[in-house]
Chain A
């Protein structure tokens, strides 16, 4: 009967969850997204092309845009258009959850090699682009356009922490203040993707310093990167306050009150905004071992907001420090 002791009620009590301050899906949707994110601002983040153009206007760093594919006619002439490019990323402008993103790291003669080493022919790319145009990845299946941009050259700092993909830093920004952040490391299990539910490792980062707090994969604590075996607690990304400031400026340019900014460290350009999300997920709380609600309520309760992104970041670094 010993094994019975290992059985336990598989649910946590809602009361305890509320004490920890975990933000739930319904609470996020009603109390934050629908309250602070005006509907008309959504296209700015749901359409990656619009996000990119807006960021360029505001002088924020994003990967260089190379091509916009809007018609089947352009797909047919893909070979000429791609002639000068060897490492690039194809994205559906209105894809959600990273769907339809294809990363080409190099060319091998006629073949295009993905990060995983899988080879794609020109025909494969054309089919993929046709699918994007037909709206297969967009919400509600509306016709879409594809954008082709430069591949990020990841900062060497993360070389040993990631498998195949580029690590990105998700920062939740609320009303101008960064409230929580997480580094997402792709793994073999996640097929080079940075989505936690697909098996990427999430590392909670201290808002004050960027130091790793805690790492989880598939909802369980991990100490090392499962593929490279590097200890994860040592992580402390460089340019930390620049990263936070970039995230805050992204939030302010969109007009959305509650936003997730995905930021990568480019070897040449430093912190670079990859994409923005008007409905950031909740897994960040697990990676931080901490609920979002107390921090969000704190910001809501501020009587006077700080003026510049810089001041906001400083205030958040003081307020939300994990290591004292």
Chain B
């Protein structure tokens, strides 16, 4: 394969992997970092009213797709009441009903919301232009309204800027005569609506809730929305700030009323809220179960299979470390990928204990193996014998550990028995042919690689990424392939040839 083709393949692998991971990250919000937390708000609406011993039907406007937030879950606490969520032409309402009730009643409606990632809420469908109700003023206000409007119009060019100017005129510390007169007769937001309607700008009132941690008994704040070219644009009627503030939850947009009550009286709604941090990963898994991008997620599998994959998906990292250690560092190991399997066993046992167990098993195995070499056995039979011996050693260590009260001793059973048997056999032959030094070099090299692989595989980031973004393993494949083309010196060769300078003939 030619070089450019090779490198474009490598680039393709890396781009594909990172691209897929990025898309999945955006669409399912699985975080790239482990332990990432998301701020969630739990907002509770408490409705109090007195029932009069008749059938009760209470309907509360509840948020639907509030801008800047996502609803994660919603629930109600209302003993004895039936509850359902209904939609009346674009208006989402929760309805509580009961056959008879009397006395003070308290109903709760609770939602959990998280801030929405920016850029994801695509453009909304343009909405039809609403009809403007005719505006009527009291005799005395007509002129004031016209003058105020005239000033605002003179200072502005668009509906948005006119709205801003109107709010400014009304909010001056010393409002002019006209503004003061109008404000005595109307609440500010109603006055703004009337003025804008008169100027031909459709408006509506939205009710929002300022989110502050651990607040109780909050009420909704009216916000002004004006209709411009198919969209609703929000203004804070006090400051004139345009757009939806980050910490404002829009509870009601348009719609007839916040609360309707039949069969009761003196209804009152108050809100309390609390901020929570929850793991982003958990949130992503519960929330995006149905998303198309979720198909690639291992967490769709049954838990048991997930466990298997969690381990399997770590193997590429171990393989990468082995390739690096052999090609770039130049360590000699006994068996190419034996160290990775040993590292996998360490994952189950913990490092220090795994190391001790491994060395003990191999040492005892080597001792017994040296006796076997006198018995003149055929290779297959000898390996089989060693396998049985290894199993006995493992069982003994487990029993011993258990008797001594170290239930950790049991975990030696996770060692790959066959691999250990082969390791013992190889080491033994190595000992006979090349001497104990070579056994130490290769055994030590294997353990070093195993420990490096273990450390890389237990890194929380590696575990998190390999499990939640399995496609990122393609990047590892690309790196392994790149290293497979490395023709430079190994680190060990810089040591091996360190004296060459003195040998070179000049």
Q: Footprint of B on A, CB under 8 Å?
A: 10-14, 16-18, 20, 22, 24-27, 30-31, 72, 99, 123, 126-127, 130-131, 134-136, 141, 198, 213-214, 216, 219-221, 282, 285-286, 289-290, 322
Contact = CB atoms under 8 A, between A and B. Distances in A.
22 contacts: A10-B498, A11-B495, A12-B498, A14-B494, A17-B489, A24-B490, A25-B490, A26-B490, A30-B486, A72-B378, A126-B376, A130-B376, A130-B378, A134-B380, A136-B379, A213-B505, A219-B496, A219-B499, A285-B497, A286-B500, A286-B503, A289-B500
B488 interface: yes
A198 B500 contact: no
A214 B485 contact: no
B174 interface: no
B330 interface: yes
B429 interface: yes
B501 interface: yes
Contacts of B486: 26, 30
A289 B489 contact: no
B327 interface: yes
B384 to A, nearest CB: 12
B500 A12 contact: yes
A30 B504 contact: no
A131 B493 CA distance: 34
Contacts of B501: 12, 16, 20
B121 interface: no
Contacts of A24: 487-490, 493
A131 B380 CA distance: 10
A14 B502 contact: no
B434 interface: yes
Contacts of A26: 327, 486-490
Contact of B494 (A13, A20, A214): A13
A169 to B, nearest CB: 19
A135 B499 CA distance: 38
B433 interface: yes
Given A26-B486, A27-B488, A289 B504 contact: yes
Interface residues of B, number: 29
A31 B487 contact: yes
Contact of B434 (A27, A123, A198): A198
Interface in B253-284: none
Contacts of B496: 219
Contacts of B434: 198
A191 B489 CA distance: 31
Contacts of A18: 489
Which interface residue of A16, A18, A216 has the most chain B CB atoms within 10 A? Answer: A16
Contacts of A22: 489, 493, 497, 500
B373 to A, nearest CB: 9
B330 A131 contact: no
A289 B379 contact: no
A74 B433 CA distance: 25
Given A10-B495, A17-B494, A322 B489 contact: no
Contacts of A130: 376, 378
B492 to A, nearest CB: 9
B500 A20 contact: yes
A37 to B, nearest CB: 16
A51 B498 CA distance: 36
B504 A290 contact: yes
Contacts of B498: 10-12
A22 B496 CA distance: 11
A250 to B, nearest CB: 26
B385 to A, nearest CB: 13
Contact of A25 (B378, B493, B495, B502): B493
A233 B504 CA distance: 16
B151 to A, nearest CB: 79
Nearest to B494: A11
Contacts of A10: 495, 498
Nearest to A28: B487
B372 to A, nearest CB: 12
A72 B379 CA distance: 12
B505 A289 contact: yes
B334 to A, nearest CB: 13
B112 to A, nearest CB: 56
A17 B379 contact: no
Given A20-B504, A24-B489, A72-B378, 18 more contacts: A10-B495, A10-B498, A11-B495, A11-B498, A12-B497, A14-B488, A18-B489, A24-B487, A24-B490, A25-B493, A27-B488, A27-B489, A30-B486, A99-B433, A131-B379, A134-B380, A219-B499, A286-B499
A124 to B, nearest CB: 9
Interface in B323-382: 327, 330, 376, 378-380
Interface string B177-197: 000000000000000000000
A195 to B, nearest CB: 9
Nearest to B429: A136
Contacts of A286: 497, 499-500, 503
Contacts of A135: 379
A305 B115 CA distance: 74
Contacts of B487: 24, 26-27, 30-31
A220 B496 CA distance: 11
Interface in B6-45: none
A317 to B, nearest CB: 17
